[in-house]
Homo-oligomer: A and B are copies of this chain.
Amino acid sequence: MTTNNDDVKLIGAWASPFVWRVKVALNLKSVNFESIEETFAPKSQLLLESNPVYKKIPVLIHGAKSISESSIIVEYIDETWTSAPSILPSDSYDRAIARFFLVYIVSRCNILLFPAIKSIAAAQGDDEKKKLIKELGEGLVLVEDALKKISNGKDFFGGDQIGYLDLAFGSIFPWLRVVETLHEVQLLDEATTPGLVNWGQKYSKHDAVKDVLPEHEKLVGFAKFLAARAAAAAAASTPN
């Protein structure tokens, strides 16, 4: 069932966690949209015109309006298509808490996960790699605590339904699994993060999600490609 016949396009890229977040939000609201895969090299005219400030994906194009930045797009979607259940909590205090933990999860992610993926690939020694993995694991225990507090014992941060924080952590989760595979470590397990393990199973099977997240092996291959490219660039810039 779709709730609109609006003209909605999304400029994205299949491997981008920020794009997944927006796609799941559109699915939750049953919004029909055209998915446009960005070319990057060079950047498409459509991207340059619709996000002239940052020139970054995702960009949601709704009729003549362009909206950038994934969190802002998700709030726009939530406030524009109001006939489906809301993504942010309806109470103003619960919304504040969700926004706070979003910043927290995203900053953890920026501080730990993405640098970890890059640095682990580039890490010279085993010690450095171990240290990064350890920090990442500690960050996840904090997210586990946040899930416990916010979900009230339900499956999702949003309770029985996928909410704002589920979209955020849902973007991080598949890349965590990639780090686990690439580096033969276990970041999430029943002993230390049982809530997140359960969360991952429920989230990835959800109707709004299952066709959005790429297959694990495809992401692993992409991560290997990125690591090889980073290594080649590092080698090229090393003075002889």
For A68, the chain B residues whose CB sits under 8 A away are: 100
Q: Provided the pairs A103-B72, A104-B53 are in contact, do residues A95 and B67 lie with their beta carbons within 8 angstroms?
A: no
Least CB distance, A59 to chain B, in whole angstroms: 11
Please tell me if A69 contacts chain B, counting CB pairs below 8 Å. yes
Counted per complex, copies of this chain come to 2
* Distance between Cα atoms of A79 and B53 in the complex (Å): 29
Least CB distance, A98 to chain B, in whole angstroms: 9
Least CB distance, A163 to chain B, in whole angstroms: 16
Instruction: Give residues 61-76 of A contacting B (CB, 8 Å).
Output: 62, 65, 67-69, 72-73, 75-76
* Distance between Cα atoms of A100 and B56 in the complex (Å): 13
Interface size on A, residues (CB 8 A): 20
Write out, one digit per residue, whether chain A residues 68-105 have a CB within 8 A of any chain B CB (1) or not (0): 11001101100110000000000011011001100110
Residue of B nearest to A67 (CB): B96
Task: Tell whether, in the assembled complex, residue A93 and residue B69 are in contact, meaning their CB atoms are under 8 Å apart.
Answer: no
Least CB distance, A58 to chain B, in whole angstroms: 13
Instruction: Give residues 145-172 of A contacting B (CB, 8 Å).
Output: none
Partner of A75, one of B72, B79, B99, B103: B99
Instruction: Give residues 87-128 of A contacting B (CB, 8 Å).
Output: 92-93, 95-96, 99-100, 103-104
For A53, the chain B residues whose CB sits under 8 A away are: 100, 104
Task: Tell whether, in the assembled complex, residue B67 and residue A93 are in contact, meaning their CB atoms are under 8 Å apart.
Answer: yes
Residue of B nearest to A107 (CB): B54
* Distance between Cα atoms of A96 and B77 in the complex (Å): 10
* Distance between Cα atoms of A67 and B101 in the complex (Å): 11
For A100, the chain B residues whose CB sits under 8 A away are: 53, 67-69, 72
Q: Provided the pairs A53-B104, A104-B53 are in contact, do residues A72 and B99 lie with their beta carbons within 8 angstroms?
A: yes
Known: A65-B93, A69-B99, A79-B95. 18 other contacts (CB 8 A): A53-B104, A67-B93, A67-B96, A68-B100, A69-B100, A69-B103, A72-B99, A72-B100, A72-B103, A73-B96, A75-B96, A76-B92, A76-B93, A76-B95, A76-B96, A79-B92, A80-B92, A80-B93
